[in-house]
Amino acid sequence: MSEALNVVPSVEEVETGVQNRKGIAEGLADVLADTYRLTFKTHAYHWNVSGPLFYSVHNLTEEQYENLFAASDELAERIRALGHLAPMKFLDLDQKSFVKDPAETPSAGEMVSDLAADHERIAHRLHALIELAAARKDEVTADLATQRSAFHEKAAWMLRALVAE
């Protein structure tokens, strides 16, 4: 095997002025776990939604899971830019995430409400990451977290609007 294939990724020292990179990387890993789990859940609901609002929910969830999937890469790359390793085990993502699977197959309305609640929880987690990053001179992560929070807040609003009475 080529020596180039024997390189094992490791934590690296990065000197960009960011303080306590480990804590920020852990916060990013938590958000990444939520994002990855919500990507799958959103996609699963997209596949299985039924009823009169099928078309609306199907299209909205497609837009959302595509955004979430792209965001997973951005979050993982930010962790690497801070010199830390992105999660490599699905079990780690599962254990770190606030996003949980439904106990039973939900109705279309329950799917929409469930996704809205998950987006709100992730936005809340991102608000904490914004404060942490800003306090540790990491404006790049604070900006990324702000952009992601804006997405989750808008996603929650759009989902809630579908089930409003």
pLDDT in tens, 69-106: 999 999 999 999 999 999 999 998 999 999 999 999 99
Residue 137: C-alpha distances to residues 25, 60, 119 (Å): 13, 36, 26
Query: Could you tell me if residue 7 is inside a domain?
Result: no
Query: Could you tell me if residue 101 is inside a domain?
Result: no
Confidence of residue 7 (pLDDT cuts 50, 70, 90): low
Query: Could you tell me if residue 58 is inside a domain?
Result: yes
Secondary structure of 115-132 as H, E, C letters = HHHHHHHHHHHHHHHHHH
How long, in residues, is the chain? 165
Query: Could you tell me if residue 27 is inside a domain?
Result: yes
Query: Could you tell me if residue 81 is inside a domain?
Result: yes
Q: pLDDT > 90: what percent of the chain?
A: 84
Query: Could you tell me if residue 152 is inside a domain?
Result: yes
Query: Could you tell me if residue 80 is inside a domain?
Result: yes
- How confident is the model over 122-145, as pLDDT tens digits? 999 999 999 999 999 999 999 999
- What is the C-alpha to C-alpha distance for residues 20 and 22, in angstroms, rounded to an integer? 5
Q: Give Cα 133 distance to the centre of its chain.
A: 17
Mean pLDDT of the chain: 93
Confidence of residue 38 (pLDDT cuts 50, 70, 90): very high
Q: In the predicted model, is pLDDT for residue 21 greater than 90? A: no
- What is the C-alpha to C-alpha distance for residues 10 and 85, in angstroms, rounded to an integer? 7
Residue 124 structural domain: 17-95+106-163
Confidence of residue 18 (pLDDT cuts 50, 70, 90): confident
Query: Could you tell me if residue 56 is inside a domain?
Result: yes
| CATH number for position 151 | 1.20.1260.10
Query: What pTM was computed for the model?
Result: 0.92
- How confident is the model over 53-72, as pLDDT tens digits? 999 999 999 999 999 999 99
Domains contained in the chain, number: 1
